[in-house]
Amino acid sequence: MRKIKKPLAAALIAAAALSITACSQTENLSASAASVSAMNPQTGAASIDALAGKNVQVLSTEAIQVVPDMAQIRFAVITQDGNPQKCQEKNSEDTAKVIEFLKNSGIAETSIQTSGYGLEPMYDWKETGQTITGYQMRTTITVSDVSLDKVGTLLSSSIEAGINSIEGVSYLSSKYDEAYQSALKKAVASAKTKAEVIAEASGSSLGDIVYIEELTSYANLRYTAIAKEGAARDEALKSVVVEPGQIGVEAQIKVTYKLK
């Protein structure tokens, strides 16, 4: 048998390896070419899967603006003292006064919740380093189902009652369910429009829906209490010193259509 020189043998081995690699890459490219996808970064995602019977999938998000008719207020009673026990006792006294004030203001007991409670040391980091100089206690009170005609009064008179921190006001709507259903309908219509554009661009026509999924969940913008309506509510709104504006109720869905 004739001997092959080492340089020539190395060249033949390299060529064979290159041929095998090229075949492998060709097979991988052929496999990946079976699935084609398109992504819209602004309006969501859309994809066409040839292996799944030519489907197109779109995301759609729509929102409805509603006027709130109820509020939730988060108050806090903050107390400082050099003695932790005295700090706690003083905070409890002030909190009791605040709760009594809220009840006298027409807030139902079931709408008043102690949502936060904590006692922690205070340090003097600049002068003495990590040295305890006193204690601070914070009790957070969340007041729910506050009609808009009472928001301004509660905010303006809460300081006199012993509240020394107003953490925020959240606005809610009794029309949330109705607005959410409208947003869902708009999202479905918008999804169809997107799918039709994609289908036309790909040289196909849009078929029936094969899958639809609701992606949003209920937000804390709704409540079940009965709100004032008509002239009584409009008159009450005149005394509000804060502007509730509007809140957005959003719905997002994922829809898959057949392509024909």
CATH of the domain at 60: 3.30.110.170
Would you call 200 helix, strand, or coil by DSSP? helix
CATH of the domain at 88: 3.30.70.2970
Give the domain range for residue 92: 70-172
Site of tokens 């959003």: 250
pLDDT at residue 169, rounded to an integer? 85
Which DSSP letter does residue 32 get? Answer: H
Domain count, the chain: 3
For residue 174, give the nearest of 62, 68, 245, 249 by alpha carbon.
68
Q: Residue 121 in contact with residue 107, Cβ under 8 Å?
A: no
* Same domain membership, residue 242 and residue 118: no
| pLDDT tens, N- to C-terminus, the chain (260 residues) | 444 444 444 443 344 443 433 333 333 333 322 223 333 434 444 444 433 458 999 999 998 888 888 888 899 999 999 999 999 999 999 999 999 999 998 888 999 998 888 999 988 777 666 788 899 999 999 998 888 888 888 888 888 788 888 888 888 888 888 888 999 999 999 999 999 999 999 999 999 999 999 997 755 555 443 333 333 333 433 333 455 667 788 899 999 999 99
pLDDT at residue 10, rounded to an integer? 44
d(CA 209, CA 186): 16
Distance, C-alpha 135 to centroid of its chain? 35
pLDDT at residue 194, rounded to an integer? 95
* Same domain membership, residue 207 and residue 149: no
Of 133, 156, 172, the one marking the end of a domain is 172
* Same domain membership, residue 88 and residue 212: no
